[in-house]
Amino acid sequence: MKKALSLLLLVSGAALADDDAAVLKCRALSEAASRLACYDAMPVAAAPAAAAPNAGAVRTETVQPEAKFGLAKAAPQPVKEKSPSKIRSSVAGALDGWSPGTRIALANGQVWRVTEGEAVLPRLNNPQVEISRGMFSSYLLQIDGHANTARVERVQ
């Protein structure tokens, strides 16, 4: 095993030395066209085999930032999207208050669960709500016309 590793290091070192010599040879040429031709003639590592056109392809759909509001990030996004600081919608149905664990379904299809806070409200049908970003990646839900707020997390 040790001999194989030593042989591998020796061969890769020799290959690197050959690459360095080729680069130095091309760099020494004064005429731009011949220098470029020299660099173009240098051998390069083989490219990995091309995958089938749709093999392992991830289907991407355009989703509005508001639709992602409150969802946990599964993976880093390649491009930083501007995310809204708050959303407005209405509760789908009646609401007369909340306590920790209460699920609140919105008309836009989002479902939020109360994690902190309690409120007793008069029975409201489809009240307008605002969910805004709080501190430390938290979210706050407030019903229009009422001072009560609840710390919530998005579950759907």
| Residue range 48-91, pLDDT digits in tens | 555 555 555 555 566 777 888 888 765 565 666 678 899 999 99
Please tell me whether residues 37 and 86 are part of one structural domain: no
What are the residues facing 133 on neighbouring strands?
139
Whether the pTM exceeds 0.75: the reply is: no
Please tell me whether residues 90 and 144 are part of one structural domain: yes
In a domain, 56, yes or no: no
What pLDDT band is residue 116 in, cutting at 50, 70 and 90?
very high
Strand ranges (E), the chain:
86-90, 94-98, 103-105, 111-116, 119-125, 128-133, 139-143, 149-154
Please tell me whether residues 85 and 33 are part of one structural domain: no
In a domain, 17, yes or no: yes
In a domain, 107, yes or no: yes
Q: Quote the mean pLDDT of the chain.
A: 80
In a domain, 67, yes or no: no
Please tell me whether residues 145 and 87 are part of one structural domain: yes
Domain count, the chain: 2
Q: What is the pLDDT of residue 73?
A: 66
Q: How far apart are CA 104 and CA 112, in angstroms?
A: 5
Q: What mean pLDDT comes out for the span 95-121?
A: 95
pLDDT digits (tens, 9 = 90+) for 8-40: 444 444 454 567 787 888 889 888 888 888 878
| Residue 139 in this model has a pLDDT that exceeds 50 | yes
Please tell me whether residues 35 and 85 are part of one structural domain: no
Q: What is the pLDDT of residue 46?
A: 55
In a domain, 69, yes or no: no
The residue type found at 6 is S
Range of the domain at 7: 2-41
In a domain, 47, yes or no: no
Please tell me whether residues 85 and 37 are part of one structural domain: no
Please tell me whether residues 87 and 146 are part of one structural domain: yes
In a domain, 60, yes or no: no
Q: Is 59 helix (H, G, I), strand (E, B) or coil?
A: coil
In a domain, 95, yes or no: yes
